[in-house]
Amino acid sequence: MSPISSRLKNGLILSVLWGFSHTAFAAAYDLREGVTEMSRRIQGLHHLSLGVCVVVGVIVFGVMFYSIFAHRRSRHPKSADFHESMAVELVWTVIPILILVGMAIPATTALIDIEDNSDADLTILITASQWKWHYQYIEADIGYYSNLATPTAQINNLEPKGEYYLLEVDNPLVLPTNKKARFLMTSNDVIHSWWVPDFAVKQDAIPGFINEAWTRVTKPGLYRGQCAELCGKDHAYMPIVVEVRPEAEFDKWIDDQRLARELASGQAVADREKEWTMAELMPIGEQVFLSNCATCHEPDGLGQGTTYPALAGGEIAIGPLEVHLDRVMNGKADTEMQAWAPQLSDRELAAVITYERNAWGNITADVVQPRTIYAAR
């Protein structure tokens, strides 16, 4: 074959392979490229190590299969005698070491860059708890919870599953494009892990300690991840969604958050001044209960054994109000019962406690007012 047509042939083969590797078919099987420089470099590392492994596998298994074929007894009745060779041992020790060095170099340079968390444009404190995330923007002084938004009915197969089943939240983390965002991870209870595959960021959230990671995203969009460390019952149900917006939109979003917080406090003032009736509070309370409490205490209030006590006829639910308030607002140390005071408004807390005291056959007839909650904070 002439040099030109040989090169054409090689070029054709390479183009086919390149095209194939970029098809949807290949994408379904490959580690994603992601949307950051680091995620792209990591994908490259993945391809390098995968390539090395495939080549090694093909060679070793090729030799084995050849031997299985050519040296089977029917074809090769007399076995050879040799059983050692220092030279050969040396060769197949040194060559693998060289291959490993070849892989270690790009891995090392990538790692050094990944671990460089300095000079970030914004810092976000990510606090994990069972089973949700809290995001706190340090410079902007804004914070909120991010919960799974998939309805329970979908999980229990009563409704068809949505497109982003288990990968959707009520309040995503919002980031600006082209800015270095530094994340500080910690936890309120057990070890969780914050992972967004498109950013190739994964760091454990450890109670009592902070870990750091960073990313810089150029492409606006929605990116989804999941908790990556077994953290109890609902480990599968605490996803992460990051919305990356162009810088100007991000700045506006920050201002909107501040405004919303002011409005919420205005609303909260109004709630406190109003005298609420049982009929008004019960439906709100039921909705709050189903969204936040039912996963452990069950929609019918019967709980699950001693781990998640029953509220129907429960000691606290029909006992003194102060104890009930304290338990809901401040949680119980060293258990999965968390403090709800930071997470719910006065109205929501008043409603859900009223609901718990008057549902499922509990007849305390107590009506808790939002201002009572406010005073107890």
What's the min distance (Å) between Cβ of 7 and other proteins? Answer: 33
Work out whether 361 is an interface residue with other proteins (CB under 8 A): no
Q: Does 110 bind other proteins (CB under 8 A)?
A: yes
Q: In the block, which residue shows the tokens 């084995």?
A: 64
Q: Least distance (Å) from other proteins to the CB of residue 20?
A: 16
Q: Which is nearer to other proteins, 39 or 358 (CB)?
A: 39
Query: Collapsing DSSP states into helix, strand and coil, what is residue 182?
Result: strand
Binding part of the chain for other proteins, among 2-10, 170-178, 273-281, 299-307 by CB under 8 A, reads 299-307
Min CB(277)–other proteins separation in Å: 27
Q: What is the per-residue burial (b if ≥16 Cβ within 10 Å, else e) of 187-220?
A: bbbbebbbbbbbbbbebbbbeeeebebbbbbeeb
The token duo for 196 is: 């967004």
Least Å from the CB of residue 103 to other proteins:
7
Does 197 help bind other proteins (rule: CB under 8 A)?
yes
Does 278 engage in binding with other proteins (CB under 8 A)? Answer: no
User: If you search the block for the tokens 């997470």, which residue do you land on?
Assistant: 343
Cβ nearer to other proteins, comparing 65 with 219: 65
Residues 142-171 as x/- pattern, contact with other proteins by CB under 8 A? ------------xxxx---x--xxxx----
| 100 binds other proteins per the rule CB under 8 A | yes
Segment near other proteins (CB under 8 A); pick from 8-16, 279-287, 327-335, 355-363: 327-335
CA dihedral 289, 292, 293, 299 (to 10 degrees): 60
The continuous run of DSSP H or E covering 282 comes out as helix 278-292
Told to check if 96 binds other proteins by CB under 8 A, we report yes
Q: Which of 49, 178, 218, 277 forms a contact with other proteins (CB under 8 A)?
A: 49
Of positions 3, 118, 275, 365, contacts other proteins by CB under 8 A: 118
Q: Does 105 bind other proteins (CB under 8 A)?
A: no
* Residues 77, 83, 87, 90, Cα dihedral to 10°: 110
Q: Which of 226, 343, 364, 372 binds other proteins (CB under 8 A)?
A: 226
Nearest Cα to Cα of residue 324 among 358, 294, 291 = 358
Does 97 help bind other proteins (rule: CB under 8 A)? Answer: yes
Q: Angle 130-232-243 (CA atoms, 0-180°, nearest 5)?
A: 45
77-82 long-range contacts, CB within 8 A, separation 24+: none
Q: How many CB atoms lie within 10 A of CB 242?
A: 24
